[in-house]
Amino acid sequence: MSKGKLAKFAELKEMPNVFQNFNWHQPQLINHLGNEVDYKNQWHEQVFGNNNPIVLELGCGYGEYTVAMAQQMPNHNIIGIDIKGNRIHMGAQWLLENRVNNAIFVRTSIELLANYFGEQEISEIWLPFPDPFRRDSKSNRRLTSGYFINIYRQIMEPDGIVHLKTDSTLLYEYTLESIAENGCTLLEEHYDLYGSNPTNALLHVKTRYEKLNLSKADTIKYIKFKL
Ligand SMILES: C[S@@+](CC[C@H](N)C(=O)[O-])C[C@H]1O[C@@H](n2cnc3c(N)ncnc32)[C@H](O)[C@@H]1O
């Protein structure tokens, strides 16, 4: 592990806009004071101090979407979630330096979400460039599998919306099948997102992963569906 990573982990622990889980088997969140916190059904009152809809960015990496949504959607509360603390560090630091208060980060496994959020507490989920898990034997780990859709259903409003952006044709086709198989409603899909000239400014945000792979990908794909 590089020294840079260790320094980032130490700083992350002290950030008031970051909550971390350190043990898969004990899914508590720890705040910047080292205290265990439980905000299930209380994120609005206890953390954001308003009743604005809560949007999750899952597998947020460096948090580009969390930061962009916090700026472009001031009447929403945004939570970026990733297992990798050194990546979250960048977005969390940016929010602190720029005094943006409608977004935070949670470092945890997405599998544990139902421990932290209550029924209907989340209104929208963004999945920018999740790992496609190319092997069929790992298809359950794709963030649009039935396994994850079931987790999202435990925490989302009945009409909750999920956005997927990917460069993977495999994940794009798999997601369209998963939407049908799991009784979700397809709202919009583009095999070539940028070719469709999207008007939603958020769709033009380019994450670290997208920038790295843009030249290799034939097209960027986008799917929007309702649970
Ligand atoms: C391919 S990267 C994409 C990162 C970012 N969304 C982007 O576009 O640059 C996938 C990210 O998802 C995170 N991730 C994958 N599976 C996860 C899980 N089960 N729980 C939490 N984070 C996960 C990884 O740590 C990684 O940062």
Residues 1-113, CATH architecture: 3-Layer(aba) Sandwich (3.40)
Question: Does residue 129 have its Cβ closer than 6 Å to ligand 1?
Answer: yes
> For residue 183, how many other CB atoms are within 10 A of its CB?
10
What is residue 3's predicted lDDT score, i.e. its pLDDT? 57
Instruction: Give the residue extent of every domain in the chain.
Output: 1-113, 119-227
| Nearest partner of 213 among 168, 157, 153, judged by Cα | 168
> Given this model, what pLDDT does residue 17 score?
97
pLDDT of residue 218: 79
Ligand 1 pocket, residue 210 CB under 6 Å: yes
Best of 24, 58, 82, 89 for a ligand 1 pocket test (most atoms within 8 Å of beta carbon): 82
- Two domains, one topology: 1-113 and 119-227: yes
pLDDT for position 80: 98
| Per-residue confidence (pLDDT) for residue 137, from 0 to 100 | 84
Does pTM surpass 0.85? yes
pLDDT averages per 10-residue partition of the chain, 227 residues = 78 95 91 97 97 98 97 97 95 96 97 97 98 90 97 96 96 98 97 93 94 80 97
72 phi, psi to nearest 5 deg:
-85, -15
Helix, strand counts (H, E) of the chain: 7, 10
Cβ atoms < 10 Å from Cβ of 221: 22
| pLDDT reported for residue 4 | 85
Specify the CATH superfamily of domain 119-227: Vaccinia Virus protein VP39 (3.40.50.150)
